[in-house]
Amino acid sequence: MNEPYSPATSRPISSTSPSTMKMFMGFLAVFIVAQTIGTVLFCLYLHMKMDKMEEVLSLNEDYIFLRKVQKCQMAEGQKSTLLDCEKILKGFQDLQCKLMKMNPKLNLWLFGIAGHEHHEHPHLMHKNEMSVAEEKRQPIAAHLAGQKSYKTVSVLEWRTTMYGPMNNNSISYQEGKLKVKEAGLYYIYSQVSFCTKAATSAPFTLYIYLYLPMEEDRLLLKGLDTHRTSTACDLQSIREGGVFKLREGDMVFVNVTDSTRVNYNHGSTYFGIFKL
């Protein structure tokens, strides 16, 4: 009784189950695929989010560090925080020094965040650096006054004055000549005051020469005056100056047609040079 039934009852079940199974399997497959894609997308999203979080966290860390620095600077003298200020400030200073070595222009930036007491520190250092550089680049200049001589000389002689510079490291003086140590462009100038005599008709002339030991000296500048007077000594001056390219060790000197007529009153006769 049961036997003819059992195949009959089992057949409809087995005949409906493959189609439902197929549908079920299809759904399952779609579901699994969707799930996988979803999971992958979610993982990607999570990963990106984590990266961002990490960034935010590190920024937060920087911020906390800066806040600590600020707090320590404000609390300086009062000792009112529980923070280990010495360590924090030292850390900040180390950072400053490192940054400054990398880029001196960062000073301004550090100026902005360093609060009120320590910002003077990098600023002062910057100033010191500047003054060291300035000291290194001392101006190369000399200004000398005429040295009175009673005999006729072919090269006028000079002496240092109270306010006139004489940078002995880069310009040396020997027997009326100024010698430059460095090659370069120099402005050379001189003024000579002198007496004109009624009798002479030849012009009084002021020369600046480049001294050349092996060959004839080279004329650089020349100034003339033929002013004639009826008096025995009428004072006047010739002044000249120009820029010249000098080589290392070059010497320049001044001479005049008649050195006995030169006037050596304070400020009237001088010779100078400076590097551009």
Ligand X SMILES: *[C@@H]1O[C@H](CO)[C@@H](O)[C@H](O)[C@H]1NC(C)=O
Contact positions vs ligand X (CB under 6 A): 154, 160, 166, 168, 173, 207, 209, 217, 255, 257
DSSP 3-state assignment of 127? helix
Q: Specify the residue, 111 or 264, whose C-beta has the smaller distance to ligand X.
A: 264
What is the distance between the alpha carbons of residues 176 and 220, in angstroms, rounded to a whole number?
A: 16
User: String of b and e for 225-259 (b: at least 16 CB within 10 Å)?
Assistant: beeeeeeeeeeeebebeeebebeeebbbbbbbeeb
Q: How crowded is residue 86: how many other Cβ atoms within 10 Å of its Cβ?
A: 9
CB of 191 to ligand X, least distance (A): 17
CB of 209 to ligand X, least distance (A): 5
Q: Specify the residue, 86 or 175, whose C-beta has the smaller distance to ligand X.
A: 175
Q: Specify the residue, 71 or 261, whose C-beta has the smaller distance to ligand X.
A: 261
CB of 105 to ligand X, least distance (A): 37
CB of 228 to ligand X, least distance (A): 20
Which helix (H) or strand (E) covers residue 14, if one does?
A: helix 2-75
- Greatest Cα-to-Cα distance within the chain, rounded to the nearest angstrom: 170
CB of 166 to ligand X, least distance (A): 5
Q: Specify the residue, 69 or 145, whose C-beta has the smaller distance to ligand X.
A: 145
Q: Specify the residue, 93 or 257, whose C-beta has the smaller distance to ligand X.
A: 257
CA triplet 72, 73, 78: central angle to 5 degrees?
Answer: 75
CA triplet 13, 18, 26: central angle to 5 degrees?
Answer: 140
